[in-house]
Structure 1
Amino acid sequence: MTDDTGSHDTASTDSTERTEQTEQTALEFDSETIDSTGRLIVLDVVGLQPQHIDPERTPTLHSLFPNERVTDLRPPFPALTVPTQTTLATGTGPSEHGDVSSGEFDRERRAAEFWERDRADRNRIWETASEAGLTTGALFFQHLIGTSADVAVTPSPIEDEDNNLIEMNCWTNPNGFYDDLQEAYAHFPLHNYWGPGANEEGSQWILSAAREAVERFDPDLLWVYVPHLDYVGQSDGPSSDAFDAELETVDEMLGDFLDFLSETDRWDETAVNLLSEYGFHDVEQPVFPNRALHEAGLLETDAEGDADIPNSAAFAMVDHQIAHVYLDTDADAGADAGTDDGANGNAGVDGDALESARELLADLDGVATVIDDAEKAEWGIDHPNAGDFVLVAEPDAWFQYYWWTDHDNAPPYATDMDIHDKPGFDPCELFFGEEGMVSLDPSTVSGSHGRVDESAYGCYALGGPAARDVDLSGIDAVDATAVTPTIEAVLEYGTLDQTAE
């Protein structure tokens, strides 16, 4: 946000940019709904918003979730995939669970890594519910490898040392479940799940796997991630005709799955929780914080054009509309970069230079807010994993990881589908490029997310035969932290407070 002089606020007080940091307890429903619910299906349809559920574009969803059963879902800050997913499935925010981005920055190695899929120490609702004696499942959520859920599926392709695909594979619980899925539905279509070929085939395969999970394991709780709208939300933006068309596609896919559920023996005791992690902003301005750092001599590059983060004084790990900036006062970065060939000088960088880096990034066109240590608690990201300071983009802007200006100086992976090697999220992977599989033209990206604005809230709805008298019309928005305790309350297990505030 800029004032009349054009300078940027360090911590905007605009309530549409920051989250309400008060965690909600469970929503309160009538005893009949709770008593009659023996199975709960969560359909996590990323990018869906309440205004998308109407008789014209999404008639199937509207029939199960009429207006009184639908409200906004307020994501945590930042409204990114991993932070929001972990919040939804734990009932805690990023300041507690530590997932502050879809990437992780290792301060000891000074390396940024995206989309690592191990469970690590994450303990989500399908794990806690399983420990409480329920049969649980989770499909295509992040960080599933190693989960204790009774049924789980997540991509785990076999790759060589250069991240080239050798053979498609999925990690599953139980062992061998992917072999059965592959025999019935062919290999999971990874190139339709993300990349220039992303389309409905990935989501359709996931929903087929969900049907198999219900038939074989009959889970009491099944969480299904449906990514379809994520592609068009980024490539074309939420206001596009293409987005409207894909709303109809996802409604048809979900309609087929709901028709299947309605024929199962436990349909009468089933509640369906429809939710979305976030909505999208229409964007038109890419912002390049690492380019500014490189030109200032604070970000080093090597002979291949890759960022030499361990020897750099500053680096921005970008993720859509958020950028975590990590500093290293001991780095030997130069002050005369000014080129794209990686030949920086060797002058040391002192504290004044690092402060100048902060001011440099704050002044970039498209940066709305800089969050310093003193403001992190207000934004819900006061965790050691967060950057030394955090950039928030303007609503129509987003951050790209590039540090080069000449395409000839781009690292080899820039034009490849290489989500693990890239040290920042790259939505250009949704577009074919002229010099490789992936485009190097960030102007093609028309949608992004990460800011927490009311216009880009997600969706929360509860329907199905077991949820007979649910009325959400009096609730302005459900906080993401309320989803897990509400599921616990509806399924009548757990230790969290089940009294609505």
Structure 2
Amino acid sequence: MTGSPAGRVVVLDVVGLQPDHVTADLAPELASLFGGTTALRPAFPALTVPAQTTLATGQSPGEHGDVASGEYDRATDEVAFWERDRDGRNRLWETAREAGTTTGALFFQHLIGTDADVAVTPSPIEDEDNNMLEMDCWSNPDGFYDDLREEFGHFPLHNYWGPAAGEASSEWILDAAATAVDRFDPDLLWVYVPHLDYAGLRHGPGEELRSAVGEVDRLVGEFLDALRADDRWDETVVNLVSEYGFHDVETPVFPNRALREAGLLSVTDDGEGGEEVDLVDSDAFAMVDHQVAHVYLDDGVDEAREALRGLDGVDEVLDEDGKAERGVDHPNAGDLVLVAEPTAWFQYYWWFDRGDAPYYATDMDIHAKPGFDPCELFFGDEGLASLDPTKVGGSHGRVDDEALGVYGLGGPAAPDGPTDDDAVDARSVAPTIASLLGISDEVATSSDYPSLLE
């Protein structure tokens, strides 16, 4: 790839998109802009937060420390999903500002506190029980969300996750992105488009997902039309990425039940008639995230390994050597890391009788649950969220050739894209964007992977 620096780079993260989706039949808007795309290979594990941080830093999870979309605090024995703020992270939309580049990021994780020139991320006002009192978003600059709300209404959080998740959230985000371009004219803008994630998790990579590609293509096309009408279109490169593709799954796996049966996991009364995991008194606990589970141990490593590797659906149990080989050897990672078989995924349940489920199990409560719960995409018989894991049709986390993301360069200032058949490594994306903007010398991405322009 060769080419001179672009004046502006827009990064569209259309999660769940794969190369065979970008065709004139399925996605005519994308296909017309990106004459050719190739596969994008995520770093292991292919999960939301690790994938996003890798794309924006050029580092593997073993380097940047985001090993899952949740965190286990060993000192306090607490698990938290989705709750981090910026916490010292320096992603390209932050580091590029040091080179005088104006930057923006919309709806990527851990944006609260970013110094990007323009940023928006959900931050609803909740009570102590995580019940939403009022919809809100954190934005930079202050007041930008208020302006977006006045024009487009509140961000539709109920369409961003849960049983009603759908295209309305992607439409709002892309409308906000067009407004950000018009008002702030950033040189670099990262935009997360979530729509395909819902179809992929509910149904897997089949016809329902392929149908949803057409919906997201239409929405992206409207955003691209707004870009084309902008004065800087001639100097624009659009960088298309996707964090992962999906596997068809049929086998839910319950590592915490196995640890409980082995006498390593303890439970306590949740105060409302259910069983809560007792993290303080447990010797082992599995923090699950799709097809990957981090197992944290106080004792009983041999017993835990024996109990887990025999589970139907477990492909690998990674120890220290295995974590190093996969690039996930970081203190934040579990003492053991489980990898599911391609047709399996991990659910956090530790109870055996539905009547013993904790009070939050049937709620859409992404902060209370100590594991990612895709059953929240389905209405339940006993509450808002389903307790039937057999409904889940797709998952991700493994890194397999059939479930890679997509990479493409388009727009009037775009250089030629990759011409070989090898998948682009996700760790090359940040260095490539820095090269596109002509700021490689000023911005250290800390990546061992070179720009694709070199």
* Equivalence map 1:1-80=2 (5 Å): 29-31=1-3, 34-35=4-5, 37-67=6-36, 70-80=37-47
Structure 2: state its 5+ residue gaps: 445-449
Letter aligned with residue 64 of structure 1: L
Match among 202, 216, 234 for residue 250 of structure 1: 216
2:114 maps to 1:147? yes
Measured in 2, the distance between the counterparts of 1:243 and 1:170 equals 28
Who is 2:254 aligned against?
288
What SS does the aligned partner of 1:450 have? coil
Measured in 2, the distance between the counterparts of 1:396 and 1:75 equals 19
Who is 1:18 aligned against?
none
Match among 94, 116, 140 for residue 127 of structure 1: 94
TM superposition shift of 1:405: 1.6
Measured in 2, the distance between the counterparts of 1:384 and 1:57 equals 43
2:79 maps to 1:112? yes
Contact 1:129 1:494 in 2 (8 A): no
2:200 maps to 1:208? no
Measured in 1, the distance between the counterparts of 2:366 and 2:33 equals 37
Measured in 1, the distance between the counterparts of 2:347 and 2:278 equals 17
Letter aligned with residue 481 of structure 1: R
Contact 2:30 2:217 in 1 (8 A): yes
What SS does the aligned partner of 1:413 have? coil
Contact 2:204 2:394 in 1 (8 A): yes
Q: Percent identity?
A: 65
Who is 2:388 aligned against?
441
Who is 1:364 aligned against?
311
Who is 1:344 aligned against?
none
2:294 maps to 1:324? yes
Residues 255 and 143 of structure 1, relative CA distance in 2, 3 Å threshold: same
Q: Deviations over 1:318-365 (max 9, x none)?
A: 000000000013xxxxxxxxxxxxxxxxxxxxx4xx412211100000
Letter aligned with residue 52 of structure 1: H
Who is 2:398 aligned against?
451
TM superposition shift of 1:93: 0.5
Contact 2:27 2:213 in 1 (8 A): yes
Who is 1:332 aligned against?
none
How many residues are matched?
443
Letter aligned with residue 432 of structure 2: T
What SS does the aligned partner of 1:311 have? coil
Who is 1:102 aligned against?
69
TM superposition shift of 1:117: 3.6
Who is 1:11 aligned against?
none
TM superposition shift of 1:278: 0.5
2:278 maps to 1:311? no
Measured in 2, the distance between the counterparts of 1:494 and 1:310 equals 47
Measured in 2, the distance between the counterparts of 1:157 and 1:181 equals 15
* Equivalence map 1:219-238=2 (5 Å): 219-238=186-205
Contact 1:132 1:494 in 2 (8 A): no
Letter aligned with residue 283 of structure 2: A
2:134 maps to 1:170? no
Measured in 2, the distance between the counterparts of 1:285 and 1:377 equals 27
Letter aligned with residue 489 of structure 1: S
Measured in 1, the distance between the counterparts of 2:84 and 2:371 equals 16
TM superposition shift of 1:499: 7.8
Contact 1:282 1:448 in 2 (8 A): yes
Letter aligned with residue 407 of structure 1: R
Contact 2:126 2:134 in 1 (8 A): yes
Measured in 1, the distance between the counterparts of 2:223 and 2:322 equals 44
Residues 223 and 499 of structure 1, relative CA distance in 2, 3 Å threshold: closer
Q: Which moved more, 1:109-118 or 1:151-160?
A: 109-118
Residues 498 and 201 of structure 1, relative CA distance in 2, 3 Å threshold: closer
RMSD: 1.1
2:422 maps to 1:476? yes
Match among 137, 144, 152 for residue 185 of structure 1: 152
Contact 2:339 2:398 in 1 (8 A): yes
Structure 1: state its 5+ residue gaps: 1-28, 330-350
Q: Deviations over 1:287-324 (max 9, x none)?
A: 00001111222111111211111110100000000000
Greater C-alpha Rg: 1
Residues 50 and 499 of structure 1, relative CA distance in 2, 3 Å threshold: closer
Who is 1:401 aligned against?
348
Q: Deviations over 1:397-423 (max 9, x none)?
A: 000000012111000000001001100
Who is 2:447 aligned against?
none
Residues 213 and 492 of structure 1, relative CA distance in 2, 3 Å threshold: same
Measured in 2, the distance between the counterparts of 1:475 and 1:487 equals 21
Measured in 2, the distance between the counterparts of 1:296 and 1:121 equals 39
TM superposition shift of 1:498: 5.3
Letter aligned with residue 95 of structure 1: G
Q: Which moved more, 1:291-300 or 1:396-405?
A: 291-300
Contact 1:71 1:459 in 2 (8 A): yes
Residues 364 and 451 of structure 1, relative CA distance in 2, 3 Å threshold: same
TM superposition shift of 1:204: 0.4
TM superposition shift of 1:475: 4.7
Letter aligned with residue 269 of structure 1: E
Residues 302 and 207 of structure 1, relative CA distance in 2, 3 Å threshold: same
Measured in 2, the distance between the counterparts of 1:449 and 1:74 equals 13
Contact 1:189 1:202 in 2 (8 A): yes
What SS does the aligned partner of 2:350 have? coil
TM superposition shift of 1:494: 3.1
Measured in 1, the distance between the counterparts of 2:261 and 2:452 equals 55
Contact 2:432 2:453 in 1 (8 A): no
Match among 267, 275, 279 for residue 233 of structure 2: 267
TM superposition shift of 1:471: 3.4
Who is 1:339 aligned against?
none
2:429 maps to 1:460? no
Letter aligned with residue 39 of structure 1: R
Residues 499 and 235 of structure 1, relative CA distance in 2, 3 Å threshold: closer
Measured in 2, the distance between the counterparts of 1:206 and 1:413 equals 29
Q: Deviations over 1:435-469 (max 9, x none)?
A: 000000000000000000011111000000111x5
Match among 293, 296, 299 for residue 265 of structure 2: 299
Letter aligned with residue 361 of structure 1: L
TM superposition shift of 1:375: 2.0
Who is 1:486 aligned against?
432
